[in-house]
Amino acid sequence: MLRQMRSRGVAKPQRMAGRILFALCLMALFIATVGYAEQTGQAAAPTFADPAFQRTWERTDKPAADGIVKRGYYWGPQPFDKKQEQYAEGQGGARLVHYFDKSRMEINNPNGDKSSPFYVTNGLLTYELVTGKLQIGNEQFVQRPPAEIPLASDNDDTSAPTYATFTGLMQGAL
């Protein structure tokens, strides 16, 4: 009977289906492994724009990423955007910054003491988003409109409060 099926070309589609099923199983195993690695903090190590950013993140957030401590992140699980931004006292009128989920790391004085825990600073990102006052130097600010993006929700949630919603509460606070 099997010879008859093979002669009619029936066995070949079955082998093809078996190969497809095998490939799908391998793909599912790969996806599950990646998901497990991300959940357990074993995902690929983040890359940083400067070793000082990495030292600061490792001191504060790596224990949370590794599951050693049970708390939220101070910065976030990994950096996602690095750039040079205008800063009057910075080298060449710019400073190196690295954005995370929850905050922004900054190197405002690249000639400062790199061993100091204050060599990398935490930017006033939330203040800038609420007030629209973008800091471009130690004592210099540019006024922009407060951010009309949700403070804590999906970007398409029209009922969520935005950073601009809190502008009135910040007047005179800092």
Tokens of 1: 């009977």
- Is the distance from CB of 103 to CB of 76 less than 8 angstroms? yes
- pLDDT of 43 reads 57
Residue 82 has pLDDT above 50, yes or no: yes
Tokens of 32: 């599950």
DSSP letter string, 81-121:
EEEEEE-TTSGGGEEEEEE-SS-EEEES-TTS-TTSTTSSE
Closest-CA residue to 102 (of 132, 133, 71): 71
Tally Cβ neighbours within 10 Å of residue 104. 19
- pLDDT of 169 reads 82
Tokens of 112: 């400062």
pLDDT in tens, 93-146: 999 999 998 899 999 888 899 999 899 999 888 899 999 999 999 999 999 999
pTM (2 d.p.): 0.66
Greater confidence (115 vs 172) lies with 115
Torsion of CA 162, 168, 169, 170, to 10 degrees: 90
pLDDT in tens, 22-73: 444 334 444 444 444 445 545 567 789 999 999 999 999 999 999 999 999 9
DSSP, collapsed to helix, strand or coil, labels residue 162 as strand
